[in-house]
Amino acid sequence: MTTGNPSYTNPKPCKHLADYKLNHGLSGYKSLQKHLKTAPHGKTSVGKPSTKTPRCISCDGFQDIERAELYCCVCCDQVYDPDFDKAVMSKHIMGITGDKNGDESIGKRLVKRRRLGSGVVEELVDSKISKQLISMRDRRAKSCYPLGLRGLNNLGNTCFMNSVLQALLHAPPFRNYFLSGGHNHETCRKRSVDQLCLSCDIDVVFSAAFSGDRAPYSPAQFLYSWWQHSANLASYEQKDAHEFFISVLDGIHEKEVKSRNQNRDNGDCQCIAHGVFSGLLRSDVTCMTCGFTSTTFDPCVDISLDLDTSNFPPKNTANKSIKPDANSSMSTLLGCLDLFTRQEKLGSDSKLYCQNCQERQDSAKQMSIKRLPLVLCLHIKRFEHSPVTKMSRKIDRYLQFPLSLDMTPYLSSSVVRNRFGNRIFAFESGESDISAEFEIFAAVTHAGTLESGHYVNFLRLRNQWYKCDDAWINEVDEGMVRASQCYMMFYVQKSLYQKANEDWSHLPISPRRNMFGQ
Amino acid sequence: MGSHAQLSSQFFGDLLDSIIVDVASECHRIARLGLDRNLEEEEEELRLSAQARVRVADPSNSGEANSKYVVDIFGQTHPPVANEIFDCMNCGRSIMAGRFAPHLEKCMGKGRKARLKVTRSSTAVQNRYSQGSPVSTYSPYSNSTSTSRLSNGTSSGAGEEYSNGTFQEP
């Protein structure tokens, strides 16, 4: 559901309501506005119903007082009207902020500029160029398998690095950038005084992976460079795949910022790391006394999710539990995302200052996604630290995840709208038209304990799954991936995924798949 | 039934009706305005995952799921410890790939004693609310609650074996 949903922006009006509006205009709504009351949690009702409330005699317009909904007595059904919803929302906004325009911009730091980065990234991910480059490579080596598929040697407990590298090697826009010469390590080294350049090292890894050579590659130089980079930060001893991922993106970004000698706004950074992985999160803090909401935006390169336990079965938009039987005890990715975007009441020990009330009040916080990245990395917080026992443990709980993911319900437009009872109103303006449909292409799994475990990456290329276990690349079926314990999941926009599949379509697919009827 | 019981029963009935209509009204609006989620697709994904888990857990199911691999898809075989040899870019010595990382640790003087203690930086948004926003931003290691760190293998040094190809049940 994008903003192009006609049922939402312009629902088919009930004939009787349409007639009423023709005859009486919006005056009825206007006089009703005085009696509308929206509670801090977003639900509107009509207070003090009086005989003065206009009810058209010939029509049938009628009111659900408790919920401020229109009901047509002739149709015997609840009906919807954008003008009515607008009247409801405008009253609410004016009531809180005293802003006559009903503009929800107070307290917001809007990222006004459209993301320029996407334009730059698109130029550099021209897959035509990368296709030419690929065809020039050595075709003798096992050309029936997807190019770029190559094992990575474990250099001594470096599977955390290998699993993330495999994901980066096959993230379509990231891959296309490097394969089409987006960062040429030969020309870069000559220009730069500072020898350390993670992008160069990644470029080398890309060249090796896509060279056609299928013997496992040792990313030793990359490890060396990365340790030099991360030595500047906290402990170099990052054996966690997620921290490694963040650190690598950070390293790429830093070099970009240094070489271009600029200090860009975080939200518009044009380095390849942010161009591919960066999204924007919206955080709303609502005062539970007056309903005033303070909104902030923050960029992110991934989303870390708490596991939804059986205490929180996944809900749909009407806050109903889906199938409260066997499935409700299973954690799902959608459940985690629901949990992430749920409005959470902050404890009374953390009252926040409300600009409207001019004092500290109980508040509620709600996260949502303002802008989705091209590649969405979802990280599951499988680490649990108890402040009481001071012990840490890994949560082995299985998490169900989809191969096709629709992020629409988690967008700011959906979440904010839902908070106000799904009224027809332009809650979120200027949302980019990036699609919300994603396809998974890589899954990093972890087996074992906190102290000793093993990372494995599953790659999905041209709808065939491959298990990348350090040096070992094997074909596996989808079921094995679904049943595995995921730690990080990499989703790419559906259009980019389909495009990536087409790119290699001129190469024959694996014969083994046909043999086993997979 | 006494009039008190009747009255309270009536109140209860009204409250219950109100709650039911709340949900019905919400759902009606969502459905009418085309805002519902694609439940069919979601349920299909759930079904496929459940099926997969059953298949994988079935001991009679032989195959890749539970056994070590003999060869990879390219027909290659690999030793438990990678035996490619190359020169360390820090000291120049010839090192075997599988022992490179522990060698480099010592070579770069990065033993546990040499570790620097740097306070983890976090952006304000992480510290602002008690809930500990789970978001990573541009600043490295911004999860001040240092959540979810899964290490792989102990840091004790060289020559550790590790499995390659066995699938462990969740």
> What was the pLDDT predicted at A218?
97
Which of A 192-221 lie inside 8 A of B, CB atoms?
A: 214-216, 218, 220-221
Q: Is residue B144 part of a domain?
A: no
Instruction: Assess whether B45 and B77 both reside in one domain.
Output: no
- Residue of chain A whose Cα is closest to the Cα of B57: A483
Q: Is residue B63 part of a domain?
A: no
Of A406, A450, A473, Cβ closest to residue B151:
A450
Strand (E) or helix (H) holding B44: helix B39-57
Strand (E) or helix (H) holding A230: helix A220-230
Enter the ipTM: 0.74
CB B137 to CB A158 under 8 A?
no
> What was the pLDDT predicted at A55?
52
Amino acid at A178: F
B137 interfaces chain A, CB cutoff of 8 Å: yes
Q: Is residue B37 part of a domain?
A: yes
> What was the pLDDT predicted at B67?
57
CA atoms of A309 and A317, how far apart (whole Å): 19
Structural domains of chain A ordered from first start: 15-93 (no CATH), 146-260+268-311+331-506 (3.90.70.10)
Q: Which residues contact A35 (CB under 8 A, 6 or more apart)?
A: A46, A47, A48, A49, A50, A53
* Angle, helices A241-260/A198-209, rounded to nearest 10 degrees: 120
> What was the pLDDT predicted at A515?
34
Dig out the tokens for B66 from the structure: 């539970």
How many Cβ atoms are within 10 Å of A308's Cβ, its own excluded?
24
Which of B 92-121 lie inside 8 A of A, CB atoms?
A: 97-104, 108, 110, 112, 115-118, 120
Per-residue pLDDT of chain B (170 residues), as tens digits, is 578 899 999 999 999 999 999 999 999 999 998 888 888 999 999 999 999 999 988 877 655 444 578 899 999 999 999 999 999 998 999 999 999 998 988 888 765 444 444 334 333 333 333 333 333 333 333 333 334 455 544 333 333 333 333 333 33
Q: Is residue B129 part of a domain?
A: no
Residue of A407, A504, A511, A405 lying closest to A170 (CA atoms): A504
Q: Is residue B34 part of a domain?
A: yes
> What was the pLDDT predicted at A255?
80
A348 interfaces chain B, CB cutoff of 8 Å: no
Q: Is residue B95 part of a domain?
A: yes
Q: Is residue B139 part of a domain?
A: no
> What was the pLDDT predicted at A444?
97
Which of B 45-84 lie inside 8 A of A, CB atoms?
A: 45-46, 48-53, 55-57, 64-65, 69, 72-74, 76, 78, 82, 84
Q: Is residue B150 part of a domain?
A: no
Nearest CA of chain B to the CA of A127: how many Å? 26
CA atoms of A55 and A290, how far apart (whole Å): 30
> What was the pLDDT predicted at A303?
97
CB B64 to CB A476 under 8 A?
yes
DSSP string, A112-144: -SPPSHHHHHHHHT-HHHHHHHHHTS---S-TT
> What was the pLDDT predicted at A134?
47
B156 interfaces chain A, CB cutoff of 8 Å: no
Q: Are strands A464-469 and A399-400 parallel, antiparallel or unpaired?
A: unpaired
Residue of A295, A329, A325 lying closest to A310 (CA atoms): A329
Q: What total number of domains does chain B contain? A: 2
Q: Which residues contact B122 (CB under 8 A, 6 or more apart)?
A: B139, B142, B143, B144
User: Residue B92 is part of which domain span?
Assistant: 71-111
Instruction: Assess whether B47 and B76 both reside in one domain.
Output: no
Q: What is the mean pLDDT of each run of 10 residues along chain A (518 residues)?
A: 64 80 78 76 69 46 75 84 86 63 35 37 47 44 77 94 97 94 80 75 95 94 88 57 93 78 61 94 92 92 88 47 54 95 89 86 94 96 80 87 94 91 77 81 91 90 94 94 96 93 55 36
Distances (CA, A) of A418 to A143, A287, A319, A335: 50, 17, 10, 17
Handedness of CA A15, A16, A21, A27 (dihedral sign): negative
Q: In a mutagenesis test of the A interface, which of B14, B20, B25, B35 is the best target, namely the one with the most A β-carbons within 10 Å?
A: B35
Catalytic residues of A: 159, 454
CB B138 to CB A142 under 8 A?
no
* CA A267, chain centre distance (Å): 15
> What was the pLDDT predicted at A295?
94
